[in-house]
Homo-oligomer: A and B are copies of this chain.
Amino acid sequence: MKILREQITRRLLRAWAVITLLANLFVLWELPIRLMTGYRPEGAWSTLILTAAGILLTDALSNLMRFRRRREVWQDLITSVPFDLLIPTGLGLPWNLLRCTRLSRITEAIHFQRTLGHWQGRGHLPLAVGRLMRLVFWIFLADHFIAIGWMALDGTAGFMPAQPSFAEPFSRYLTALYWSTATLATVGYGDITARTDPQRLYAILVMLSGVGLFGYVIGDIVNLVANLDQAGAEHRRRLTRLDGFMRSRRFPRPLREKVHAYYDYIWEQKTGPRHEAAFEALPESLRTEISLALHRRGLERVPLFQGLGEDFQREIVQLLEPRIFMPNDVIFREGDPGDALYFVSSGAVEVYSESDPSIESIWLEEGAHFGEIALTGKSARTRSVRTTGFCELYKLSKDVFDLFLAKYPEFKAHIEETLLTRK
Contacts and interface: CB of A to CB of B under 8 A. Distances in A.
Interface string A193-236: 11111101101100110011101101101111111111110001
Q: How many copies does the complex hold?
A: 4
B174 A122 contact: no
B290 A281 contact: no
Interface string A229-271: 1111000100111111101111111011111101010000010
A323 to B, nearest CB: 8
B282 A259 contact: yes
A285 B123 CA distance: 41
A79 interface: no
Of A177, A239, A247, A278, most B-chain CB atoms within 10 Å: A247
A325 B253 contact: no
Contacts of A279: 242, 259
A164 B248 contact: no
Contact of A174 (B197, B218, B242, B281): B197
B262 A283 contact: yes
A17 interface: no
B325 A283 contact: yes
A293 to B, nearest CB: 5
B165 A178 contact: no
A218 B243 CA distance: 22
A258 B203 contact: no
Interface string A154-178: 0000000111111000010011011
A264 B123 CA distance: 13
A187 B221 CA distance: 21
Contacts of A251: 290, 293
A303 interface: no
Interface string A329-358: 110000000000000000000000000000
Nearest to A232: B248
Given A128-B240, A231-B244, A285 B329 contact: yes
A43 interface: no
A121 interface: yes
B200 A174 contact: yes
Given A174-B200, A208-B181, A212-B218, A283 B326 contact: yes
A197 B187 CA distance: 18
8 contacts: A177-B204, A181-B204, A186-B188, A188-B188, A216-B226, A242-B279, A249-B294, A262-B286
Question: 8 tightest CB-CB pairs across the interface, nearest first?
Answer: A230-B244, A187-B188, A212-B218, A189-B190, A190-B190, A127-B243, A231-B248, A216-B222
